[in-house]
Structure 1
Amino acid sequence: MAITFAHQLTKIRQQQHLSQAQLARQLTLPRSVITQWEQGQTTPELDQLIKLAALLQVSLDDLVLGDSANRRLSTLPQLTTNGSWEWLVRYWWLGLSLVGLILWVLMSFSHVR
Structure 2
Amino acid sequence: MTEWIPLLQAAGHTVVHWSEVGDPRAPDTVLMQWAITYDYTVFTHDLDFGTMLAFSGAEGPSVLQVRCLNVLPEAIGTLVLSVLLAYADEIEQGALVVADERRARVRILPLIRQN
Shorter-chain TM-score category?
under 0.3
Instruction: Give 1 or 2: higher strand fraction.
Output: 2
TM-score (norm 2): 0.22
Instruction: Give 1 or 2: higher helix fraction.
Output: 1
Q: Which has the larger radius of gyration?
A: 1
